[in-house]
Amino acid sequence: MNGDLFAKEALAQIPKILTLCDRNPHSPTYGCCDRNFWQYKIVDFPSGMAQEFVYPLALAYYTNISNNPFYQQAAIPDWVEAGILFAAKTAHKDGSCDDYFPFERASGAAAFSLLACIESYSMLGLDNPEILRFFELRASWLAHHQESGRLTNHQALIVLCLELLSQMLCTPRWDRAKALRLEQVLDWQDEEGWFPEYEGCDPGYHTLTISCLARIYQLQPDNNRLKEALKKAVELAAHFLHPDGSYGGEYTSRNTYNFFPHGFELIGQWLPGALRINDCFLWGLSQGLAPCYADDHIIGHHTWNYLLTWRDFVDRISLAVPHKSGRIWLKSAQILIDRRENADFSGRPQTVLYIALNKGGAFKLFRDQKLVASDTQFSLQVRSGGKLKNAVGHLIDNYDVQVSAEEITITGQLGWAKQKQMTPVNLLILRVMMLTIGRFFPNLIRKLLQKMLITGKQDAPFYFSRRLRWKNYQWHVTDELQTRSWQPVQAAGIGGDQTSIYVVMSRTFQLGQLQPWLDLTEEVKKLAPHQPLKLDRHL
């Protein structure tokens, strides 16, 4: 078992990353990694997050693996330094940066790009006082800024940035800030082991938090509380590796297929069980089951994390051990994982169910290491007030849930999906707001947008019940949907990968999404008022 596949997957993204970067030394935007800004000129400011791309470039420069055309190429350090200088040049006076709109002062973009710049600067042995002054300015802003919403991965990133820069500059300047921030991260960890991301448990972002905390533990090896938190976090992450080697999905709080493997290699140096997680994921990666993150905005995260995993890969024989049959019910996360034997009584869990009890019973079902069904609950297109709206059953809510050994029942109400799009008028309003009042209260604007696009929920006039029964070594799924009148419903169905909140890293393609849409429109058209829609499936 080796980590070359991680490196090969990452290096395949480097040509695109270089395409996104302005590599012309005589250009006024030399070093900018936001192609929409410097090349297409379709946005009026560069995204600060894009400067994170310097990190995978610096790592590619040092990745000594066969068929790596970027290894020790002299042009790359120049482009990396230019990228760091552009980050400094385009930062606000307080060191912060924007991501999606002017004067946003986005913590995530500031932290990701600062981490990338610090690590790249250190790796390449650069010596530039202007860059160091920028690092100090941004670190100080991050140290004293608290964003709205609970995104633990951002908090862990900030602590890592402060720790790395403290050691680089040999200063205690941020000691109190990073200690308080790390304490906050550890306090946020649920007893079940997961770190909150907005409304609950997202195993994908959980692995990013693990990566950051594992790196911090390397720098703080005497921090026993952090070590115990990492043990608990790794144990939790292991549950979400699917039998086919894929990870996460739409039954989680932020709907991501994220998997950041680097932390498991670092932790595996003192907790060998962590390596089993990467071994299982590597097998899935070899089968082409990794999601595609190769778009202009999110290509960087996994690329640098994969290259770090290759660099720090722990030599071993395969440690992959299958889970035993049984049930894991994460009551706080509201996720249930049920592993059962088939009729051969082999003792191996051949049928595995992952179900979100707080998302209407959205689930993934595997049999014999293959995906059998992915289900994101009912979805209706409804004519309302001259507009076509979308009512869905997978928004996070407090549903009525009953769980027994052989049966799971969830009942509740559909909610209106978040389908807000930008229009020229909306964009102008946001720009005017941010250029005037909003620039002084960016966190308030962010909080309002979070409620509009992510956390807020409006009930729709449709009521569902979902029952799953284990019978004859199969799951029998019975769905029922009721409403006063079906007349406004234009279309109905159940998809395998539908999501309805805004999350940057969601809605990526993964092979398991090739499952066809289950169209129920004709069945709905036959229904009389108050007559329920019923659906029975044996899976």
Dihedral class, residue 507 (left if φ above 0, else alpha if ψ from -120 to 50, else beta): left
Q: Which of 311, 343, 376 is the last residue of a domain?
A: 311
Say which residue the tokens 């699917």 belong to: 242
Interhelix angle 224-238/175-188, rounded to 10 degrees, is 40
Q: Which of 431, 518, 450 is nearest to 479 (CA)?
A: 518
On the 0-12 / 13-18 / 19+ scale of CB atoms within 10 A, 230 is buried
DSSP state of 471: E
Say which residue the tokens 């090896």 belong to: 221
State pLDDT tens for residues 338-392. 999 876 655 566 899 999 999 999 999 999 999 999 999 999 999 988 899 999 9
Note whether 299 and 339 are same-domain residues. no
Count: domains in the chain? 2
**CA angle, 217 then 221 then 222, to 5°:** 120
Give the model's pLDDT for residue 93. Answer: 96
Residue 172 lies in a domain: yes
Say which residue the tokens 């999110």 belong to: 298
Predicted confidence (pLDDT) at residue 473 exceeds the cutoff of 80: yes
Q: Using CA atoms, how far apart are residues 469 and 475, in angstroms rounded to an integer?
A: 6
State pLDDT tens for residues 216-247. 999 999 999 999 999 999 999 999 999 999 99
Percent of the chain with pLDDT over 90: 82
Question: Under a CB-based contact definition with an 8 Å cutoff, are residues 379 and 498 in contact?
Answer: yes
Note whether 238 and 106 are same-domain residues. yes
State the CATH number of the domain containing residue 223.
1.50.10.10
Mean pLDDT for the chain? 93
On the 0-12 / 13-18 / 19+ scale of CB atoms within 10 A, 365 is buried
Q: Which of 287, 311, 335 is the last residue of a domain?
A: 311
Predicted confidence (pLDDT) at residue 248 exceeds the cutoff of 60: yes
Stated length of the chain? 539
Question: Under a CB-based contact definition with an 8 Å cutoff, are residues 98 and 47 in contact?
Answer: yes
Note whether 45 and 132 are same-domain residues. yes
| Domain span including residue 150 | 4-311
Token pair listed for 263: 């932390």
Note whether 272 and 390 are same-domain residues. no
Say which residue the tokens 């005497």 belong to: 222
Q: Using CA atoms, how far apart are residues 279 and 263, in angstroms rounded to an integer?
A: 13
State pLDDT tens for residues 70-91. 999 999 999 999 999 999 999 9
HEC string for 92-107: CCCCCCCCCCCCCCCH
pTM of the model: 0.94
Q: Which of 283, 311, 339 is the last residue of a domain?
A: 311
Give the model's pLDDT for residue 28. Answer: 97
CA end-to-end span of the chain, whole Å? 34
Residue 194 lies in a domain: yes
Note whether 43 and 124 are same-domain residues. yes
Note whether 304 and 386 are same-domain residues. no
Give the model's pLDDT for residue 440. Answer: 74
* Cβ neighbours around 436 below 10 Å, total: 10
Residue 424 lies in a domain: no
Calculated CA dihedral for residues 176, 181, 185, 188, nearest 10 degrees:
100
